Structure 1
């Protein structure tokens, strides 16, 4: 019934749970990050912590392992299920050998205990088997009594421990059964949660398709930035370097203009300065010559100085001749004409045209985007129609009703369970009380016997307390014979049942070996590979085992993957969007983007470059300029010349000549600071301008030709970019289709891991195992273990009680040895007995007498004599009917006395 209701639900659940879902956010890589399916929160905790009882359970399981160490008999059970009984008897007997031996010992106990008890009772009535009320006097009597009492006490404590264990197991079972209702309610609630949460999860899956659809539409609306940008990036490797080359040439033009202008202005300044410098130097030269012609130079001391100064005046002249350098006005004029056309703005137009590729792609793919959006509407319609075809609510309602019906049936059984548990508890407590009854007599016997025992009293004069202790021990022995075999009957039955349940059900379930038996061939359908496929009418070749189903549900996996429902309902086939994807691909295959409108460099820009090539700036004689500017301004360093002249003037006497030459020294220095130094700065500027121009115009024709070639090549690539557009369009199409594929893959993963997780079903199995094994079987095994422990120990307790009782009970006769003769007459005067007293006559002094309950003894006797007299009286009062042993002892005594 469960399968008939659950299976259709699971199948239809698998159908619906195949709906796509995506709570998406897009990263830079285009991957979709999906949200989490709303989880089902289950309350059942199918676990059990026995606490201190765990050690006792482990002890019982260890005992069972010793009794039954064989592995789980999978093959034997399979053959038995298949009906092959005869050939499996020997194997089953071998497997059950430990249980059979223990059961046989139990049966032997059950048979022998009543029989031995009956024989023992009859024998005791005949004053045999310890029934004779006579105790022989031995030297080690006290040691024997103490040893027997100690052994009996220890044995009784062990029996008490067994009873306590049995009672604890009994109480533990009752306590744990009280939690069964909570466990069942929790499982039923989880099943209802499973039923209620599954539609929510499925609705979430279906509803999340709109998120994926919005993402696809967003990418379609941004086809320009996405597709156009990729096309532009592919063309950038050719187009951007070409435009950068043209832009660089435009910058070079402006740099050339500035360099030419600086060169022309500096050259003009140098030429004018050279003329002025030459004139000033000539004037200084004339002034010095005029001064040297005076009468002061004719004297011998001044003559040599004047001659030296006159000879050095030839160095006062300019060295660099800038007047012979040609002007660059013509080249400057041509460059200015070329710069009338703004090549930089033309290049910016090329950049703008190149950057407009995304907008161009967007404008030329409008029809394609519209067609793809129509297909998206079709996909959405198919998914909606697919979900509408399912009858989920009705199936879920039926399953929910079934769960509620089962729950109500279980609720109705609770009173019967409570009543049965009460009867069980009462029965088990009664069994424990039987053992406690025996223990009560034993402990009371030990207490009375131990407290009432008098070491100085003879066996026939023991007190009432001691005698009562012995009688209680014998009563305990009697009840042991009466009840022990009944206890063993219960122990044997529960041992066989509980032990086999533990070894054949509980342990295999924990190790999952039991599932292999269920999955064995031919158990349900000879053609099926496993039990579950046969039960669910799956494909016979499906490798779906109970073990795998339980393990996946234990991991809280989705029931679709756990039951491999894809073999019954092909979710992939129902979620197949290949037809829609093919239509989308066709839409993108028809994309035709024309980039002929993109102009990187218009004809005016190319003409401007060619015009710059014809300005002649590359034909200027730059080496001649550099050679001239590298020369010094004057032949001699004017400062050095002035310093030398000043030193020579120190050799002249003061006068007009020295004063006139001193003035000229000052003029030379003034010419250096005011004219030579500015000219040196101008030559530096001219040199820099010449070098800059030389660098700018080196290989100018080849550079311009190369730039034009590169720009023409980039233009051709742009106009023939069909393969690039096709390639990038395919990537863009695959990206859109990839969203759907990611969506479908995520749905499959969610179905396998999250949607309709079958944890409640594994919880049900675990709960059954928990109740059956952890609660019932473990407690049952512990009960028979404790009760059997106590029952077995009743045997040594019985033996010890019987032997110890004789040390406590009051005897009828005892062994007596005395030196004086006492005649003893029976009722028929048949026997006479002479008793030899071992007490010397000197000890026979009057002592206080101990009263005796039967007949007071005359005064004047010692205590030893009183005791002996009591024993003699006991012999006199003994009835004529004696046992053979008594007769033999009395005849032997008489013969000895006669002798």
Structure 2
């Protein structure tokens, strides 16, 4: 009852909670993550009865068999609407019809109750008549046992039947003991259950304001993150614009810088080639001079008179023929000089192209700084807007006075808790009386069944089949007495037991079918949600009570289900119909102003020149310097030739060989000396000349490689430069707009993310009303149904079953007692007359020795 009252009181929270924010559209990078502190509740979500639940389920099945009719929703609606009142006019047709419907619904319970009442009324009468009858030696009261041929079979059948019935009675008694103990145990847990629910409700009331304050305080993190990004606009916005332009600008600047380096390298290469060429020309001229001298010396030597001698004439003529080979093989002196190209490149280098590239690169890299300088006022305005939002958020908690409004519910909760704590001792005291009475009931039944068990035990083990009915043993006779004692106690108390069973059955069965089951399947809530039921002027009673707007579709079932799912009270009670948090905060208006500031942001970047006119002229002059027009093939072809027409070493060896064929003399000595001179000339001049020609060949190849396609390269650079410059001049505004929108969305994304989190927190987490549903479940489902009704139903089920089985037990016990008790007389049979004769002498039986048969 107390949790129910608290549930109704907590509905007032609707007047002091916050509304949901707008949905999130974008999310900025590096958005802070929020997590609402969770509330920890003590009360468990569900109740599990444990192993005794199997017995409860058996009772539920029995009740379903007895009462299979569907929940009488129409009947209850009419009763609640007071359309059924027998005190005014019970003969009204609608009252008669409704009465018949009630009887039809309760027919199973009514029949069982009537049968129980008949049992209560008839059992004492039957017992009284049975006692009188036996006192008159009727109804088995005569201490004489008729002898039957199937007596042994009947005795065993009666014993087994009574044993089975006693087992059933014992099961019922055990159920009674278990139910009695379980009910007492659960009542003892009531205080703990109530305290747990009240703690949870206080936690809900106390923590809700702190949760709301926490949500509002998280705006500080958002503002700090936004301030950080605004202060870092140089790298975020300016850097974004810079990064968008990089693919267009940087490759061009790199190409120009590379070309500037190529100009310097070309100048060095030209200089090296030209110097090497001049040196080569000098070396070639010197070689020609030396070869001429050697050729002159050889001609003078061949004019020696010895060459006139016939034997040496042929040798001299052979030598004279080879003198034409002593000559230069190249025309290096005819190769043109590279002074003109070198002068043109030097003229190009008078303009420092690298510094011009650095200047253009610097102006490009200054874009972030330019953006920061031009957005100072805008950043200041946005910060002011954010500060004003912060001020509104700081004031909102004071405006709605959450703590003050929630504190009014603490007194009712404390009052209800005090009331419950005052009544719990009384409940526990009454429960102790109930427990004692139930224990007495169970003990009475136990006493009866113990009598039966003892009777069976003594009767079975003390029975002697050879003993006559009048001579049965003491143990057997005691068994029969125990059985009759059980019968007597049964007649004395069974009607009292059945009275208790009927009363608890009617109460427990109806509460189970009319309260517990419809509460679990929510049909009770559906009845309460019937339009115009609780108030004929309100379609929806709950919305009329909470908002005074009965047309809002707010139902008890929906509220209970949402609370069961631990949803926030704001969404559960549809509080947007009463209090809208966004209207007080106006955060959408502020974010709209921020968005407008970004959209109207005016950033101009129109003074970036990647390469000025001097730089362009420098590139064009280099392309027309003539470096790429040099006839490199002619140079390479000429330089690739050997320096002399003949291999001087081979020539010297041949000259020396031929000289060796001459007789000693001045001619031979002169030729040998010239051969040695030729060898020296080869080592001193030809070999260095060859190395110089190889070096020049490689340098010309390198120069050729550098100058190949020079005009095309420069033209491509100029084209790329014009394209990049045109992009910066004409299309940078679109890049600025794009990056500004992206930057603005990032800033606004923080607030939209915050609002999304606020929405989720308000609707799903803040003031999550699960303790209210748990309190209601604790009051109805746990305390009333699980703690009280289910064990009470199990009690009447077990005791009722045991009491019902007392009836056949009485019959079988009376029948069986005849076979165990010692009789006053017995039957004897005469074989001639075959007529039983009764010896009425007490304690003595006469026999016809040869004609008497004793039946077992």
| TM-score interval, normalised by the smaller of the two chains | 0.7 to 0.9
| Aligned residue in 2 for 1:227 | 237
Task: Check the 8 A contact 2:242/2:367 in 1, yes or no.
Answer: yes
| Aligned residue in 1 for 2:17 | 13
Task: Check the 8 A contact 1:72/1:503 in 2, yes or no.
Answer: yes
Task: Check the 8 A contact 2:660/2:668 in 1, yes or no.
Answer: no
| Aligned residue in 2 for 1:395 | 405
| Aligned residue in 2 for 1:410 | 420
2: CA distance between counterparts of 1:449 and 1:185? Answer: 56
1: CA distance between counterparts of 2:61 and 2:141? Answer: 43
1: CA distance between counterparts of 2:309 and 2:507? Answer: 158
| Aligned residue in 2 for 1:799 | 811
Q: Does 1:367 align with 2:371?
A: no
Task: Check the 8 A contact 2:175/2:794 in 1, yes or no.
Answer: yes
2: CA distance between counterparts of 1:371 and 1:32? Answer: 22
Task: Check the 8 A contact 1:819/1:836 in 2, yes or no.
Answer: no
1:414: Cα distance to partner? Answer: 0.8
Describe how 1:429-828 pairs up with structure 2 within 5 A. Answer: 429-450=439-460, 452-525=462-535, 532-537=542-547, 540=550, 542-636=552-646, 671=681, 674-701=684-711, 703-704=713-714, 706-708=716-718, 710-720=720-730, 721-768=732-779, 769-817=781-829
Task: Check the 8 A contact 1:183/1:767 in 2, yes or no.
Answer: yes
Describe how 1:260-409 pairs up with structure 2 within 5 A. Answer: 260-283=270-293, 311=321, 314-409=324-419
| Aligned residue in 2 for 1:58 | 57
2: CA distance between counterparts of 1:85 and 1:294? Answer: 171
2: CA distance between counterparts of 1:670 and 1:70? Answer: 136
Residues 1:253 and 1:56: Cα distance change in structure 2 (over 3 Å): same
Deviations 1:325-377 (A, max 9, x none): 11112322332233233211121121111111111111122222222222223
1:285: Cα distance to partner? Answer: 5.1
1:421: Cα distance to partner? Answer: 0.6
| Aligned residue in 2 for 1:871 | none
1: CA distance between counterparts of 2:800 and 2:728? Answer: 98
- SS of aligned partner of 1:814: strand
1:66: Cα distance to partner? Answer: 4.2
Task: Check the 8 A contact 1:519/1:546 in 2, yes or no.
Answer: yes
Task: Check the 8 A contact 1:538/1:567 in 2, yes or no.
Answer: no
| Aligned residue in 1 for 2:86 | none
RMSD: 4.0
1:780: Cα distance to partner? Answer: 1.3
1: CA distance between counterparts of 2:227 and 2:633? Answer: 68
1:99: Cα distance to partner? Answer: 3.9
Deviations 1:56-76 (A, max 9, x none): 223333433444455655566
2: CA distance between counterparts of 1:100 and 1:638? Answer: 145
1: CA distance between counterparts of 2:728 and 2:320? Answer: 79
Describe how 1:238-253 pairs up with structure 2 within 5 A. Answer: 238-253=248-263
2: CA distance between counterparts of 1:550 and 1:67? Answer: 30
1:407: Cα distance to partner? Answer: 0.6
Deviations 1:797-826 (A, max 9, x none): 1111101111122223211246999xx999
| Aligned residue in 2 for 1:874 | none
Deviations 1:815-847 (A, max 9, x none): 1246999xx9999x9xxxx9771338xxxxxxx
Task: Check the 8 A contact 1:72/1:504 in 2, yes or no.
Answer: yes
Moved more, 515-524 or 176-185: 515-524
* TM-score, with structure 2 as normaliser: 0.86
2: CA distance between counterparts of 1:307 and 1:74? Answer: 148
Residues 1:331 and 1:87: Cα distance change in structure 2 (over 3 Å): farther
Task: Check the 8 A contact 2:363/2:608 in 1, yes or no.
Answer: yes
| Aligned residue in 2 for 1:844 | none
Task: Check the 8 A contact 2:72/2:105 in 1, yes or no.
Answer: yes
1: CA distance between counterparts of 2:261 and 2:738? Answer: 36
2: CA distance between counterparts of 1:425 and 1:643? Answer: 143
2: CA distance between counterparts of 1:460 and 1:40? Answer: 82
1: CA distance between counterparts of 2:298 and 2:157? Answer: 157
- SS of aligned partner of 2:142: coil
| Aligned residue in 1 for 2:90 | none
* TM-score, with structure 1 as normaliser: 0.82
1:652: Cα distance to partner? Answer: 5.3
How many residues are paired up? 831
Task: Check the 8 A contact 1:820/1:836 in 2, yes or no.
Answer: no
2: CA distance between counterparts of 1:66 and 1:305? Answer: 149
2: CA distance between counterparts of 1:470 and 1:423? Answer: 36
Task: Check the 8 A contact 1:817/1:838 in 2, yes or no.
Answer: no
| Aligned residue in 2 for 1:846 | none
Moved more, 121-130 or 350-359: 121-130
Describe how 1:127-166 pairs up with structure 2 within 5 A. Answer: 127-166=137-176
Task: Check the 8 A contact 1:528/1:540 in 2, yes or no.
Answer: yes
1:464: Cα distance to partner? Answer: 4.6
Deviations 1:489-533 (A, max 9, x none): 322332343234334433444444544344343433567665543
1:767: Cα distance to partner? Answer: 1.6
One of 432, 447, 451 as aligned partner of 1:422 = 432
2: CA distance between counterparts of 1:726 and 1:816? Answer: 128
- SS of aligned partner of 2:409: helix
Task: Check the 8 A contact 1:338/1:611 in 2, yes or no.
Answer: yes
Higher relative contact order, chain-length normalized (CA < 8 Å, sep 6+): 2
1:623: Cα distance to partner? Answer: 3.3
1:138: Cα distance to partner? Answer: 3.3
| Aligned residue in 1 for 2:38 | 39
Deviations 1:664-695 (A, max 9, x none): 66666665555444444433433343344344
| Aligned residue in 2 for 1:895 | none
| Aligned residue in 2 for 1:30 | 29
Q: Does 1:191 align with 2:201?
A: yes
Give the unaligned 5+ runs of structure 2.
84-93
2: CA distance between counterparts of 1:196 and 1:131? Answer: 77
Moved more, 581-590 or 268-277: 581-590
- SS of aligned partner of 1:816: strand
Task: Check the 8 A contact 2:213/2:397 in 1, yes or no.
Answer: no
Task: Check the 8 A contact 2:7/2:772 in 1, yes or no.
Answer: no
2: CA distance between counterparts of 1:134 and 1:305? Answer: 182
Task: Check the 8 A contact 2:17/2:579 in 1, yes or no.
Answer: no
Deviations 1:756-781 (A, max 9, x none): 22221122123221112221122112
| Aligned residue in 2 for 1:883 | none
- SS of aligned partner of 1:743: helix
2: CA distance between counterparts of 1:124 and 1:662? Answer: 177
